């Protein structure tokens, strides 16, 4: 049995927004890919519609129910408590252990056959993930089994999320200088800025942005830094000499900083493709940076007791083995080292390594492609679970 060929298959995806754009960014990409490429009837439950609207302008933040790009979007509130069997999808996904409504779970237990239930976990490069991927977990009271599904970087995980046409679209865009210039031109970039080293900057507020601006400003190489509105506002305001807003720009020394509006997801992909280096944060932009085929620095979502530093090091052990300048700047950017808390002294060595990092980004992408895409891998596993059920 092949799930993607079943036109009646339904799927419910539950998302609570913790990291403003990362959680909903991942779930929205997943929902669209399930609907577009696999013909699944998808309902996306999300608790924070205003954050959703920042990456998908079609969202009405006041609507309890709406249809967007073929996906049913429902506002998930604390009042969602009563459900019947007719409300339950064939496949139910809770993103990152978000605790779906108890009433929904109770109705799931009444269905026959019962739905396939997944906890889609967050991305990590830690070795233990391979042993936990696809493990079952029985409900303590109800006749239900949930399976854990982990994205990851090896064939023993679910892989990374990637649309079927993404690599071809990216290569075509990066090979066409005219198209790339037209894309950047809509944000006000001059020909001189387009010819400079272009860096996109998406980070959490505690990143040492001002120190890095100082290194770029005093360097010999022209750099244009493209920052979405609302990101690194303190450092950007200080550099601009005024409140940052979309369209604002200033040049000091070798550095030009330009503030961009928040853009829909497809345009954010193009921004990553158009830049020579990308600073990204969280999980969604982190994965998209890997598919961009460009060097990147990851700002990982902070966790208590600095658990995120362990996750960062696990990724760098896989991705940056032998690339000392990349590891050093990544650890510094995340406050994970006391050897050099200032990124400015690390920039020259990193900058000198950029050509090698470009080649490495291409090779890494080829390795990730070999693992398949997360959505197809998840559906194939769901198909195996459905086909093995009695009756």
Would you please indicate which residues are annotated as catalytic (active-site) residues? 23, 283
Angle at which helix 284-291 crosses helix 166-174, to 10 degrees, equals 60
Side-chain-side CA neighbours of 135 within 13 Å: the count stands at: 9
What are the percentages of helix, strand and coil residues in the chain, rounded to 5? Answer: 45, 20, 40
Residues with Cβ < 8 Å from 100, sequence gap 6 or more? Answer: 14, 45, 92, 94
Q: How far apart are CA 186 and CA 199, in angstroms?
A: 17
DSSP string of 42-105, one letter each residue: EEEEES-HHHHHHH-TT--TT-SEEEETTEEEEE--TT-----GGG--SEEEEETS----HHHH
Q: Determine the 3-state secondary structure of 2 from DSSP.
A: coil
Provide the pairing of β-strand 71-75 with 65-68: antiparallel
List the beta bridge partners of residue 160.
373
Q: Which of 372, 381, 389 has the alpha carbon at shortest distance from 147? A: 381
- Residue 305's region, left for phi above 0, alpha for psi from -120 to 50, else beta, is left
Contact 81, 102 (CB under 8 A): yes
Sheet with strand 296-299: strands edge to edge: 249-252, 255-260, 223-228, 197-201, 277-281, 296-299
Token couple for 286:
């982190």
Q: Is the peptide bond before 257 cis (omega within 30 degrees of 0)?
A: no
């Amino acid at each position: 049995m092949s799930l993607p060929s079943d036109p009646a298959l339904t799927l419910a995806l539950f998302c609570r927004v913790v990291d403003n754009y990362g959680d909903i960014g991942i779930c929205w990409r997943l929902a669209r890919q399930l609907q577009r490429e696999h013909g699944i009837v998808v309902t996306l439950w999300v608790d924070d519609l205003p954050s959703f609207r920042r990456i998908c302008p079609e969202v009405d933040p006041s609507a309890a129910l709406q249809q967007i790009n073929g996906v049913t979007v429902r506002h998930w509130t604390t009042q969602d408590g009563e459900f019947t069997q007719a409300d339950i999808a064939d496949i139910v996904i809770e993103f990152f252990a978000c605790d779906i409504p108890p009433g929904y779970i109770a109705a799931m237990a009444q269905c026959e056959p019962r739905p396939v239930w997944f906890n889609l976990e967050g991305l990590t490069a830690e070795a233990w993930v391979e042993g936990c991927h696809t493990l079952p977990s029985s409900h303590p009271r109800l006749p239900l089994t949930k399976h854990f599904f982990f994205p990851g970087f090896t064939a023993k995980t679910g892989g990374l999320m990637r649309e079927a046409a993404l690599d071809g679209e990216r290569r075509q865009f990066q090979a066409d200088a005219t198209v790339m210039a037209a894309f950047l031109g809509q944000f006000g970039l001059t020909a001189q800025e387009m010819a400079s080293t272009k860096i996109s900057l998406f980070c959490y507020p505690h990143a040492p942005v001002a120190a890095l601006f100082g290194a770029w400003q005093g360097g010999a190489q022209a750099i244009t830094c493209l920052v979405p509105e609302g990101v690194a506002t303190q450092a950007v305001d200080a550099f601009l000499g005024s409140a940052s807003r979309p369209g604002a720009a200033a040049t000091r020394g070798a550095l030009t900083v330009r503030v961009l509006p928040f853009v829909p997801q497809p345009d954010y992909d193009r921004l990553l493709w158009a830049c020579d280096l990308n600073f990204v944060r969280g999980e969604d932009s982190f994965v998209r940076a890997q598919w961009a085929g460009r060097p990147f620095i990851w700002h990982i979502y902070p966790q208590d007791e600095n658990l995120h530093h362990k996750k960062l090091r696990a990724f760098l052990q896989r991705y940056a083995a032998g690339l000392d300048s990349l590891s050093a700047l990544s650890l510094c950017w995340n406050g994970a080292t006391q050897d050099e808390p200032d990124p400015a002294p690390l920039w020259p060595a990193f900058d000198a390594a950029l050509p090698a990092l470009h080649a490495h980004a291409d090779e890494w992408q080829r390795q990730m492609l070999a693992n398949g895409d997360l959505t197809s891998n998840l559906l194939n596993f769901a198909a195996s679970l459905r086909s093995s059920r009695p009756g």
